[in-house]
């Protein structure tokens, strides 16, 4: 998926590209909570709410805040939302922090049996392993302690 295939969109734009943008903004906000109001209605109409969401996204990521979804905005959305890496005990980094944050948010919503909130430290240790296993068990997923595609997908559904 190349950023060059995305059109520049702004208030007043309509169509499938706007629907795609709205969906990506909703997904990005679920991951990072950059300050959007309730999820955007994915209706293909770049109105006031979509304009606000684009501006909030741009501000959160230090982009030029103009409300226009141009190449830099698309590139940042694409970078943020590329496939989640498979993570397991011993993994480290930003993706683990994202996983830990989502697990904490999911447990607050559904109380799937986690111990106190995870320390969002980017280190996939015993507590994160237990949290992943509890989440997988609660949602009927394969209980392996590995955050793969099905675990990520379910986390996004629950937190979204």
- Residue ranges of the domains in the chain? 3-81, 94-159
For the chain, 160 residues long, the average pLDDT of each consecutive 10-residue run is 71 94 84 76 95 94 95 87 82 89 90 84 96 95 91 85
pLDDT of res. 67: 97
- Asked: is 3-81 a CATH 1.10.101.10 domain? The reply is yes
pTM of the model: 0.55
pLDDT of res. 27: 79
pLDDT of res. 73: 95
Q: Which CATH number fits domain 94-159: 1.10.101.10, 1.10.580.10, 3.40.190.10, 1.10.3720.10?
A: 1.10.101.10
Residue given tokens 């997908």 in the structure block: 153
Contacts of the segment 96-101: beta carbons below 8 A, 24+ positions apart: 96/122, 96/123, 96/124, 96/128, 97/121, 97/122, 98/31, 99/124, 99/128, 99/132, 99/147, 99/152, 99/155, 100/128, 100/131
Given a contact cutoff of 8 angstroms between Cβ atoms, the answer to whether 31 and 153 are in contact is: no
């Amino acid at each position: 998926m190349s950023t060059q295939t995305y059109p520049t969109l702004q208030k007043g734009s309509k169509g499938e590209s706007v629907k795609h943008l709205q969906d990506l903004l909703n997904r990005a906000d679920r991951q990072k909570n950059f300050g959007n109001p309730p999820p955007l209605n994915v209706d293909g109409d770049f109105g006031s709410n979509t304009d606000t969401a684009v501006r909030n996204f741009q501000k959160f990521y230090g982009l030029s805040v103009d409300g226009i979804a141009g190449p830099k905005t698309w590139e940042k959305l694409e970078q943020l939302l590329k496939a989640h890496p498979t993570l397991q005990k011993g993994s480290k980094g930003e993706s683990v922090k994202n996983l830990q944050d989502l697990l904490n948010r999911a447990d607050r919503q559904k109380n799937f049996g986690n111990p106190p909130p995870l320390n969002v430290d980017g280190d996939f240790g015993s507590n994160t392993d237990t949290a992943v296993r509890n989440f997988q068990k609660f949602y009927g997923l394969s209980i392996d302690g590995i955050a793969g595609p099905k675990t990520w997908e379910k986390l996004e559904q629950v937190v979204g």
